[in-house]
Structure 1
Amino acid sequence: MIQYTNGAVTVFQSVLYQTTSTVVELGDAILIVDPAWLPGEVEAIRSYVDSVRGDKACYLLFTHGDFDHIIGYKAFPGAKTIGSAGLAEYPEKEHTLQIIRDFDARYYVTRDYPIEFPKLDIVIGEDGQEVMMGSTMLTFYLAPGHTAEGIFTLIDSAGLFVAGDYLSDFELPFIFDSAIAYEETIRKAKQIVQTHSVKLLVPGHGQCTEQLMEMERRVDLALGHLQRLKQAVIAGDEQALEQLRLEHGFVSPATDRCHRENISMIQKEYLKQGESGKI
């Protein structure tokens, strides 16, 4: 379904994980971000793109390599693809594809396009890298932490900040790469919000927002959770850790696994540092 539209930016939302997919009309180009999830949802995005594209060039951007964000890749043949150098060199491509195959097999899902891992035409390897898309400039920032290969995308002319799997209105940090990098990435997001004229923030899951105060609240929410988690792990405070577990949206075995992974990452990075007096 369409969650948001302002004429230039249209945000679709899947029923699964509230995953967002964004279509941006850039005058002489169309940008599609993370088309997902179910076949009918991907088809709705494709039909919308077909209705507005005309003879414009089409670009397909992947914020990171999680299976739910690359699942619609081959539904847009001919689109030029964009992603980070980490995505181009992604070490677990086959594992990610197998997750998709297993999901489709479990639920008897059929698709009219093949399941493949994205091959990139445009590779983002530097913080602040700029790419011209038609006549529009896009600026990319490396955003590791959730995963190693994440990127932020800024389109200043549209006031658009596409954050990938950060800054959700309900989803707390899931740390699969590095807790240290995650905190640095959130601080980078804070700087982006403060220094760019961001009029619309789109997270990978949940509701987009046009409100600066809400963007700042999400930055503070993520940073606050990380800080309290770090303190609880270092102190061995099981009661605080349990409270942090219960703060996750849609508490479930899946969020519990992510919470345990967060704890493990904190232990690996911060307790090891603590032994050498670096905390």
Structure 2
Amino acid sequence: MTLFQSNLYMTVSAVIQTEDLVVVVDPAWLPHEVEEIRNYTYTILNGRPLYILFTHSDYDHIIGYKAFPEAIANASEALKTKSEEGKVAVVEQIKAFDDEYYIIRGYEIAFPVVDVCAAKDGDAFVLGSTRLVFYPAPGHNDDGMFTVIEPLGLLIAGDYFSNVEFPYIYFDSALYERSILKLDDIIARHDIRLLITGHGDSTDQRAEMKRRQSDSLEYIRAMRSYILAGDQIRIDGLIANCRFPRNMRKFHKNNQLLIQKELESRLGKDDGTML
């Protein structure tokens, strides 16, 4: 296994090899970074089949898709069945990013066409002695997926369990909680030796995996509590120690707005009124 960390957002891509196959995970960001991943991959491929694994469809995680045109694509069923409007919107984000920074890529920009997908927890793809076991993980966005690669004991977590980001919630906070609680079941079912997150540092320490899970749960539950109490000072204090505050404040504010809407919707249903 080789990990590549981009200069942008500490984004992590991975190239994983077993006796049976090579898997490229979320190749990103800048053209020279994607090219480095591509060159390394083809250096070690040695006739094995090539797979590309997408943890979710955020544009930074699919941006290198067409640099591996012959790769067999793996993702969640939700990513595969994303609406055409949704796919176009993600591709437009890539093009807008490249336009903003005058970036020229040597490959086509496109939304992944998925060949192998997972619809439910425990769905698996097996080739020889290699097993990829999938766990759909919505919440951060609507089409996230955890993947366990056996027999290596790798847990590919996407944009969960980061040590540099608090939860970035673009879709649903309750689903986010359910997804990260799956860590307990995954650890019970598999011999997890390394957790690879989409941004930040990987960890091989079980206690650190659980700490990251606990920190994420505490953030979401505290946010709900402080919103209900109308306590903006304590809401702001939730990210008092974050490493990149000038950028992260906007994600924190967006979390607040999303969870506030969820609470308003829930309270409206509870008392029969529309809020």
Bin for the TM-score computed over the shorter chain: over 0.9
- Does 1:234 pair with 2:228? yes
Q: CA deviation at 1:172?
A: 0.4
Q: Where in structure 2 are there 5+ consecutive unaligned residues?
A: none
Match of 2:89 among 86, 90, 95: 95
Partner in structure 2 of residue 82 of structure 1: 74
Q: 1:107 aligns with which of 101, 106, 109?
A: 101
Instruction: Give matches, 1:112-127, under 5 Å.
Output: 112-127=106-121
* The one of 126, 137, 162 aligned to 1:132: 126
Q: Which residue of 2 aligns with 1:42?
A: 34
Q: Quick one: structure 1 residues 264 and 190, their matched pair in 2 at CA, closer, same or farther if it must change by over 3 Å? A: farther
Specify the alignment match of 1:170 in structure 2: 164
Q: After superposing the two structures, state which structure 1 stretch, 162-171 or 127-136, moved more.
A: 127-136
Distance in structure 2 (CA, Å) of the matches to 1:79 and 1:181:
30
Cα gap change, 1:265/1:190 in structure 2, threshold over 3 Å: closer, same or farther?
Answer: farther
TM-score by length of 2: 0.93
The reply on whether 1:68 has 2:90 as its aligned counterpart is: no
Aligned to 1:31: 23
Say whether 1:265 aligns with 2:258.
yes
1:78 positional shift: 0.7
Corresponding residue number in structure 2 for 1:4: none
CA contact 2:129–2:151 (8 Å) conserved in 1: no
- Does the CA-based 8 Å contact 2:141-2:169 persist in structure 1? yes
Moved more, 19-28 or 184-193: 184-193
Which secondary structure does the structure 2 equivalent of 1:158 belong to?
coil
| Distance (Å, rounded) in 2 between the aligned partners of 1:192 and 1:243 | 32
Partner-residue secondary structure (3-state), 2:202: coil
Partners of 1:181 and 1:72 in 2: how far apart?
28
Deviation at 1:200, TM superposition (A): 0.4
Amino acid at match of 2:4: F
Deviation at 1:274, TM superposition (A): 3.6
CA shift, 1:97, in A, is: 1.1
Q: What fraction of aligned residue pairs are identical, expressed as a percent?
A: 41
SS of the aligned residue for 2:29 comes to coil
Measure the CA separation in 2 of the matches of 1:214 and 1:245.
19
Deviation digits for residues 58-108 of structure 1, max 9, x if unmatched? 000100000000000000111100111111122311111111112112212
Residue identity matched to 2:251: C
> What amino acid is aligned across from residue 104 of structure 1 in structure 2?
D
The alignment of Structure 1 onto Structure 2 pairs a total of residues equal to 268
Q: Distance in 2 between matches of 1:195 and 1:79?
A: 29
What's the counterpart of residue 12 of structure 1?
4
Contact 2:56 2:158 in 1 (8 A): yes
Q: CA RMSD in A?
A: 1.5
CA contact (8 A) 1:156 1:198 kept: no
Equivalent of residue 246 in structure 1, options 224, 240, 245: 240
CA separation in 2, counterparts of 1:82 and 1:134? 17
| SS of 1:222 mapped into structure 2 | helix
Q: CA–CA distance in 2 between the matches of 1:24 and 1:189?
A: 21
> How far apart in 2 are the matches of 1:258 and 1:62?
22
Partner Cα separation in structure 1 for residue 73 and residue 218 of structure 2: 35
